[in-house]
Amino acid sequence: MFRTLLIANRGEIACRIIRTARRMGISTVAVYSDADAGAAHVAMADKAVRIGPAPVRESYLVADAILAAAKETGAEAVHPGYGFLSENAEFAEACAAAGIVFVGPPPSAIRAMGLKDRAKALMAKAGVAVVPGYLGDDQRPEHLAAEATKIGYPVLIKAVAGGGGKGMRKVEAADDFAAALESAKREAKSAFGDDRVLIEKYVSRPRHVEVQVFADNHGEAVYLFERDCSLQRRHQKVLEEAPAPGMAPEMRAAMGEAAVKAAKAVGYSGAGTVEFIADASQGLKADRFWFMEMNTRLQVEHPVTEAVTGFDLVEWQLRVAAGEHLPRTQDRIALDGHAIEARLYAEDPASGFLPSIGILERLRLPDGVRVDSGVREGDTVTPFYDPMIAKVIAHDATREGAAAKLASALEHAQIAGPRTNNAFLIRCLRSADFIAGEIDTGFIDRHIAELVPKSEPDAAVLATAARCVAGNRPSTDDPWDARDSFRLGGPARQVVEFVLGGRRIAAPLSVAGRVAAPLNGPGGLTALRMKNGDVAVMRGGETFVLKPFDPFELADAAGVATDRIAAPMPGKIIQVMVKAGDAVKKGQPLAVLEAMKMEHTLSAPADAVVEAVAVAPGDQVPDGTVVVRFAKGKAKGEE
């Protein structure tokens, strides 16, 4: 076994690999960018080496810097985690050339499965069913449009390289194809350096079911059952579970055997995930699933497989990479209960799930469940990397039990600083249709009104925030220490004013409970005065943020909400669609901002006239930068 392992990654996956390596007696080396100098994975590792500035292309994607760190520290193996260089065949080859073991599949397998079009052609040749579509080399827009028409709408445009929903667009009609293609190719080029795409038929009630496979260097391969990852937003997974609800034993066997066949077809070794799309319009059936792609690495959702099998998949990876046989044969692998994983993100569901950045001024994650996290209270969620705060995993004898256990655990989380999707996750887990197993990839869009309701603070929340601003009752009996607004002329009105949605709200002090009390179940209230003066009130897994009323600040901000569009986070302006004098309609796209590995379209909040465009494509902008300013008058030519 290896004596020293370098982890070529960051965040929660780096921390998770370090935990297993430490248990196995392996010394660990972390690498870090300038933005991660104080990160949790750096503190956990036995050694740490700086590899560059914050941007990933100048640090975590610089293979030479990572290999130099491995040589400097005497690392015998490199674990790439997921993302970054984990599916980079050239990096795997460079490791081998340097005499360092790459903890992953051989470069040939990475290449075979790395390009979706070639992978599908290979799988079809191996007898694995694939989704109907166009996998050709002709990338002319007019040719791709013609192929989409042949396939029949709706279709999916998908980047040939990469994954994670980047470079993927669903297209409902021919008129929308050109714009969707341009956007998908641009995002694919930015994320993967390759703008080629394929076109495939969009399945009307798709279930995203993937199979965990493992192979060694002795010709052995097994499957560790399936995971259902159908709950997605913007093609990124939200909840993952194992096993898949409604999966019959014969379909499980058919899908598992197809996954093993796929792995053997490319001479695979190590951990891999074969992703299938299943048509759930008439329930899951053994003849209604198709190969989508293979991820030649460990997956974000691997903990649910670990929960239902009892195996440590990182340990398996290390043992296989060290030349050992697989720890178990297929007949000695069994399912135990049900597990569900929730991805806790710094993002704002009420604003279209835009990523949120800032200091985690409060981060109390739940007990009694598995929590994989790479951040701590006081850390900063930056615009440079994926905004995941933690993965929270619950395991129980039944699916209903696991969902209830996970929802209850998330209710006890306390998070203040960046906005999060915590309350959204709880609502997903408690949705009647989710509990009934009525899920597919369109679930969130269909239930968005109930999953992201307009949530306003009630009297108890307002009163708790008021007490936080006014201060708790003094510990002395001195009347001069009292903050109860007492005056000789009669009692004062004991209120604190806040600004919410542009309006002033008076919050009474008199009905508040104790502030900063422990969160004892869903009814508990905890308040925190944040560094910017806002008040965060946490209850039942939901955080309400209230801004104390400041008449001077309000006057300065008058009109800002309607006379301009500003960048919601730091990023790069990719496209500007309007110019001064244009009349725009509510919801019309104005510009595209690339931030946190995704494209974000900035749209008009109302019918308006563009007075000025303050940015140009290619501009790097901080959050709050004015992108488009609107005029108060009418468009040119209007009466």
Catalytic residues: 297
Q: Which of 367, 292, 305 is nearest to 334 (CA)?
A: 305
Q: Which of 394, 381, 389 is nearest to 341 (CA)?
A: 394
State whether residue 410 is helix, strand or coil: helix
Q: Which helix (H) or strand (E) holds 576?
A: strand 571-576
State whether residue 329 is helix, strand or coil: coil
Number of residues in the chain: 639
CA 533 vs. chain centroid, Å, equals: 29
In sequence order, the 6+-apart residues with CB closer than 8 A to the CB of 492 are 485, 486
Q: Which helix (H) or strand (E) holds 575?
A: strand 571-576
Question: Would you call 456 exposed, middle or buried from its count of C-beta atoms within 10 A (0-12, 13-18, 19+)?
Answer: exposed
State whether residue 373 is helix, strand or coil: strand
CA–CA dist 150, 144 (Å, integer): 10
CA–CA dist 155, 174 (Å, integer): 10
Strands 77-79 and 4-7: parallel
Asked if residue 234 lies in contact with residue 165, where contact means CB atoms within 8 angstroms, the answer is yes
596: phi then psi, degrees, rounded to nearest 5: 50, 45
String of DSSP letters for 19-45: HHHHHTT-EEEEEEEGGGTT-HHHHHS
Q: Which of 77, 106, 185 is nearest to 141 (CA)?
A: 185
586: phi then psi, degrees, rounded to nearest 5: -55, 130
CA–CA dist 283, 240 (Å, integer): 19
CA–CA dist 489, 504 (Å, integer): 27
Asked if residue 340 lies in contact with residue 243, where contact means CB atoms within 8 angstroms, the answer is no
- Give all strands of the β-sheet with 535-539 in edge-to-edge order: 503-508, 495-500, 542-548, 535-539, 526-529
Q: Which helix (H) or strand (E) holds 314?
A: helix 313-321
CA–CA dist 348, 417 (Å, integer): 12
Radius of gyration of the chain (CA): 26
Asked if residue 599 lies in contact with residue 186, where contact means CB atoms within 8 angstroms, the answer is yes
State whether residue 431 is helix, strand or coil: coil
Q: Which residue has the tokens 């939200």?
A: 238
Asked if residue 34 lies in contact with residue 45, where contact means CB atoms within 8 angstroms, the answer is no
